[in-house]
Amino acid sequence: MELKAGVKYCDFCGRKVAAEDEAAPSARKPARGRASGLLKGIAVGCLAIGILVYVGNRLREQAPLPPPPASTPDGKGQAAAACEAAIRKQARAPFRVIALRSILVAEETPGYTVTGSVELQSAAGELQRKRYFCKVHPDARAGMVLDEGKIY
C-alpha cells in the first residue's frame, strides 16, 4: 500500500493522518508538555535555590569575622577577651565561629570565670549555637592566662 505525499500513519492508532499532524484526532495519545514542563520547572527551581544557597555560603565565608571586644582596663574585659580568643582557636573544622557572646564574667580567687554562647557554622552551612566556659587568671608577664576552656 502506497501513501500519498503529505500523508503518514499515526504512531498511536495506525490510521492515516496528514504529515504535519502529530497523531490522529481520535487517537488516545499520552499527555505531553504539561506534566513534563512542570517537572522541568521544579528541577530548574531546585537548581536555582541550590546555587543561591551555595553562593550565599561562599559570600558569608569571605566576610571577615568581627574582632573580639577591645580589652578594657579592668580585669573582666581582659578575661572575656582572652577567653573568646581561646574559644575561637578551639573551634575546629568543619565548623567556624560566626559570633561569640560573653554572657557572664565572674570574679573568683584567683582569676575569672567566663561563660557565654558561640554560634558555629558547618561547611554545609548548618548553624549551631553552643555554650562555652573558661577559667582565666591574671599574669604579670602574659596578661590573662587560660586555665580551662571548653565548648559544650
Q: How many CA atoms lie within 13 A of 134 on its CB side?
A: 29
Return the percentage of the chain with pLDDT > 90, whole number: 7
* pLDDT at residue 72 is higher than 60: no
CATH number, domain 75-151: 3.10.450
Q: 148 vs 69, which has greater pLDDT?
A: 148
The yes-or-no verdict on residue 29 having pLDDT over 90 is no
Provide the whole-model pTM.
0.47
Radius of gyration from C-alpha coordinates of the chain: 33
What cell was used for 99? 559570633
Q: What is the mean pLDDT of residues 75-92?
A: 84
In the chain, domain spans: 7-62, 75-151
Query: What is the percentage of the chain residues whose pLDDT exceeds 70?
Result: 82
Question: Higher model confidence: residue 62 or residue 101?
Answer: 101
Average pLDDT over residues 96-102: 82
- The Cα–Cα gap between 79 and 146 comes to 9
- DSSP SS3 for 70: coil
Q: pLDDT value at position 84?
A: 86
